[in-house]
Structure 1
Amino acid sequence: MLAILSQLEPLLEQVKEYEREIERLFKLHSDSKLFDSLPGAGLRLASRLLAEWGDYREHFLNASVVQALAETSPVLYQSGKYCFAKRRKSCVKPFRNALHQFAFIKQYGGFILFLISKIFSLPIDIEGLSIYSIFIILNTSP
């Protein structure tokens, strides 16, 4: 067990350096303030959304193009009396994943933070903290 731990410890510092570089590059981007202002999206999710959205907004003519690209709009399939909606298979899957994570945090983030604060009786004010920050607090608290 200690051998594995000694192999993983140097990786933690590399991950921290990687995250610092992502933060630096994210703050240099002209749209970083827009993505950083998204409620519930921390640095990791905001930088993913910015990276997936990209700089070339002119190829997104309207919201339906973004929905089709990220597979957030269902495809209607009809044959005779049979009709159902299914998910798109041809999409940018990392973009879909980032949008789904953001939607999950927007919908359930506050409820999850409330539950965590009640279950673990956190003596801190969790208002305004992201769910990831709460998990870090839980992992570091005695």
Structure 2
Amino acid sequence: MKNVSPSLLRQALTNDPALVESSIITLQALTLGLRAVHTAIARFDREIARTFIQHPDASLFAALPGSGTVYSARLLAAFGSRRERFESAEALLNFCGIAPVLKRSGQTTIVHRRYARPLLLHQSFIEYANESIRHSLWARAFYQMHKSAQKSHWVIIRALAYKWIRILFRCGRSAPLTTNFATSNHFKKAAPPYSNTLPNPTPKLFE
């Protein structure tokens, strides 16, 4: 493209009326379709926001660092409204595919990621863990510690998602819900020793 003159680029590819007119009609039809999709997305966003704010667990997920309007709703939906659905954090970790698969045979041990998993659920936790590095001092310390140990990016992100699920599961089981992660015993139990690498006290740890 570097050798193509500007005048040549401005020339029409074709002047054939049949091709030009049919292309115009196609473009107009696509534009109408895109407008309808845009309207539907806006309606979905409003309904998701309305439903989220009415949920009793909304404050927990809204308090997560960097969760915003997107991840807070996705993570709440991932945990669901029935807390008894998963008896333990490990049950949720296995279901969503964050927990690795461990295979042992004699003297051999193989660890690999879980391939059978609900993709959107798995993706929600992975994407949030990746985003949390930008907003959470603890998550950043976790990432840097493992990065210095020569771990690859996505291996660390999966491990971080694993930690976030354990933290959220513990906080979600408390009554009332715990939103002050920095001083929460649930956080301290689920996230050692990385919390020890942060300044003390840490009242704004997850802002």
The bucket for the TM-score relative to the shorter chain is 0.5 to 0.7
Q: Aligned partner of 1:24: which letter? A: R
**Equivalent position of 1:15 in the other structure:** 41
Moved beyond 6 Å, runs of 4+ = none
Is 1:99 the counterpart of 2:149? The answer is: no
Q: What letter is aligned with 2:84? A: E
Residue 51 of structure 1: aligned partner = 77
TM-score (norm: length of structure 2): 0.48
May I ask how many residue pairs the two structures share in their alignment? 110
The higher radius of gyration belongs to: 2
Number of the residue aligned with 1:6:
32
Partner of 2:100: 74
CA drift of 1:108 comes to: 5.0
Q: Which amino acid is 2:129 matched to?
A: A
Where does the alignment leave 5 or more consecutive residues of structure 2 unmatched? 1-26, 137-207
C-alpha RMSD of matched pairs (Å): 2.1
Which residue is 1:123 aligned to? Answer: none
Deviation at 1:83, TM superposition (A): 2.4
Structure 1 spans left out of the alignment, 5+ residues: 111-142
Distance 1:51 1:7 in 2: 29
- The alignment partner of 1:77 has SS state of strand
Aligned partners of 1:74, 1:16: CA distance in 2, in Å?
37
Matched-pair identity in %: 29
* Residues in 1 aligned to 2:85 and 2:43: alpha-carbon distance in whole angstroms: 33
Secondary structure in 2 matching 1:89: coil
